[in-house]
Chain A
Amino acid sequence: KNQVEQSPQSLIILEGKNCTLQCNYTVSPFSNLRWYKQDTGRGPVSLTIMTFSENTKSNRRYTATLDADTKQSSLHITASQLSDSASYICVVSEETGKLIFGQGTTLQVKP
């Protein structure tokens, strides 16, 4: 069964610090991998998307990496801000178009 597992489940960091969120998947073959940010009480918003041939993609202070051989992705947040407090969801797309959602990592940035 195709699955997407994220770690850690939750994370607390101090403002200004960096952090890395992990996503492991068993989806094969896959079409693309996307990271979404979900603020509390809001719907998810797309941060980055990578196809299997891409290794890294950046969006401001967010950098996503992908290792298609080990089926792992990470989302690195640089110089965290209070507004980064949110859930981050890894989503892998099967070649059929079906999306498999991870359960999310909840990040809390404290002043």
Chain B
Amino acid sequence: NAGVTQTPKFRILKIGQSMTLQCTQDMNHNYMYWYRQDPGMGLKLIYYSVGAGITDKGEVPNGYNVSRSTTEDFPLRLELAAPSQTSVYFCASSYISQQETQYFGPGTRLLVL
């Protein structure tokens, strides 16, 4: 199993551009999450999904959108990139609840200039 994979590893965006961060898991997990990690700060939940077709906002959803059309994929969309979205983004998954062990991807480093 590859676990949780994310692409791209690193990206530079100009202000106002849009992009999609890809996340795929091959563990047949129901729950998937997107977090952002800023220097010196704890991970913040952006969006999560409890299954295909169901998504919900986390702590910091503004400026982002998600979709969950399949169990495996959970892409994160940035529509109008802003410097405040410069961060490292982690996708994670767990089997049947948030409180179980979450398995994280390697992260996507995003720089918005």
Q: List residues of chain A with CB under 8 Å of any chain B CB.
A: 4, 9, 31-32, 34, 41-46, 49, 89, 93, 97-104
* Residues of chain A within 8 A of B55, CB atoms compared: none
Q: Which of A31, A34, A42, A104 contacts B42 (CB 8 A)?
A: A104
Task: State the CA gap A41–B3 with chains docked (Å).
Answer: 16
Task: State the CA gap A27–B42 with chains docked (Å).
Answer: 15
* Residues of chain B within 8 A of A104, CB atoms compared: 42
Nearest residue in A to B98 (C-beta to C-beta)?
Answer: A97
11 pairs, A vs B, C-beta closer than 8 Å: A41-B106, A43-B106, A43-B107, A44-B90, A45-B104, A89-B42, A89-B43, A98-B98, A99-B99, A101-B43, A103-B42
* Residues of chain B within 8 A of A4, CB atoms compared: 42
Nearest residue in A to B33 (C-beta to C-beta)?
Answer: A99
Nearest residue in A to B45 (C-beta to C-beta)?
Answer: A99
Contacts A43-B104, A89-B42 supplied; 10 other A-B pairs, CB < 8 Å: A34-B101, A41-B106, A44-B43, A45-B104, A49-B101, A89-B43, A97-B97, A98-B45, A98-B98, A99-B99
* Residues of chain A within 8 A of B87, CB atoms compared: none
* Residues of chain A within 8 A of B107, CB atoms compared: 41-43
Contact A93 B99 (CB under 8 A): yes
Instruction: Give, as a whole number of angstroms, the nearest-CB distance from B32 to chain A.
Output: 13
Tell me if B102 is interfacial: C-beta within 8 Å of chain A. Answer: yes
Nearest residue in A to B99 (C-beta to C-beta)?
Answer: A93
Nearest residue in A to B90 (C-beta to C-beta)?
Answer: A43
Nearest residue in A to B31 (C-beta to C-beta)?
Answer: A97
Q: Which of A43, A99, A101, A103 contacts B40 (CB 8 A)?
A: A103
Give the most central of B41, B102, B107: most A CB within 10 Å. Answer: B102
Give the most central of B42, B44, B90, B92: most A CB within 10 Å. Answer: B42
Instruction: Give, as a whole number of angstroms, the nearest-CB distance from B35 to chain A.
Output: 8
Per-residue CB contact flags for chain B residues 86-113 toward chain A (1 = under 8 Å, else 0) read: 0000101000011101101111000000
Task: State the CA gap A9–B41 with chains docked (Å).
Answer: 11
